[in-house]
Amino acid sequence: MASALALCGAEVEAGAYTQPAGQGQAILSGYASEGAAYYDRRGRLKPRGRFSKRELQLYVEYGLTDAFTLVGAGALQRISSADEYETSRRQGFGRTEIGLRARLWTDGRWVVSAQGSGALGGAKRGDGFAAVGEQDDQLDARVLVARSFSAFGGDGFVDVAAGYRARFGDPADEARLDATLGWRKRGSRWLWLTQSFSAIGLGRWSGPYPLKQRTHKIQTGAVYDLRSWLFVHAAGFVSVAGRDSLDEKGAMLGVGCRF
């Protein structure tokens, strides 16, 4: 089973599976998201001004060996945010992230991996409110566990990742928990995916943005193989709960190649 394609925004989070030595994949994706409400500190939805984000992301992974895969992502983005107090716009490079995934153990069905990555923020401090969360450098460490299975005349997998993201700026450090369920009918070109993404702020109540943010998103979509080496993918995502965070809805569309 190939990479879980667990991508939501420009972050390196593609699942426990590693690429074979000398092989890889590259994925170019466009994202569009909107928001007109936010979750307050008690997790209640409240109206706010308009938020809009457009992003073009390139994600690449390459098998250095069967057990070690190099991963990276970069993005161009345009963000606008407006409320009763301020209107802010920002466009330019998003985060640039690079990391290494190491397969620790497998028995053919189960896969256990570890991954570390670092990201450089693309925005500058002077870019305004629209760039909050985009200008800080970050380090991410995670453990990933996946299991393949057969059911309902097809083959599938479950992939779970738990990690810690240190953010050298605002907002606070985060605990991450992501999960992916994928299934493909035997002989079909379609791979169906359902995913969840959770980020839990670990506490910073001082500074210019004293937030203890929490976000929970779900995403559903599909990958379609045009050729053995070429595929397209599409998905929609939505925030289902949060705290000190945006109520965000969006969609993605992309094309990828295996090499």
* pLDDT at res. 10: 41
CATH 2.40.50.110, applies to 24-258: no
pLDDT category of residue 122 using cuts at 50, 70 and 90: confident
* pLDDT at res. 170: 66
* pLDDT (mean) for 235-242: 96
88 vs 204, which has greater pLDDT? Answer: 88
Secondary structure (3-state) at 125: helix
* pLDDT at res. 212: 75
195 vs 95, which has greater pLDDT? Answer: 195
Percent of the chain with pLDDT over 70: 87
Q: Give pLDDT tens digits for 217-234.
A: 999 999 999 999 999 999
Q: pTM of the full predicted structure? A: 0.89
Q: Is the pLDDT of residue 96 over 50?
A: yes
Cβ neighbours of residue 179 closer than 8 Å, sequence gap 6 or more: 158, 159, 160, 161, 195, 196
Q: In degrees rounded to 5, what are phi and psi of residue 125?
A: -60, -30
Percent of the chain with pLDDT over 90: 68
* pLDDT (mean) for 162-173: 84
Q: Give pLDDT tens digits for 11-60.
A: 555 689 999 999 999 999 999 999 999 899 889 999 988 889 999 999 99
* pLDDT (mean) for 55-76: 96
- CA–CA dist 43, 216 (Å, integer): 11
Question: Would you say the C-alpha torsion 50, 207, 215, 133 has a positive or negative sign?
Answer: positive
- For residue 96, give the nearest of 79, 115, 118, 127 by alpha carbon: 118
Q: Is the pLDDT of residue 259 over 70?
A: yes
Each domain of the chain, given as residue ranges in start order, spans: 24-258
Q: Give pLDDT tens digits for 147-159.
A: 999 999 999 999 9
Evaluate whether 179 touches 196 at the Cβ level (below 8 Å).
yes
- CA–CA dist 80, 246 (Å, integer): 13
- CA–CA dist 256, 59 (Å, integer): 9
Q: Is the pLDDT of residue 2 over 50?
A: no
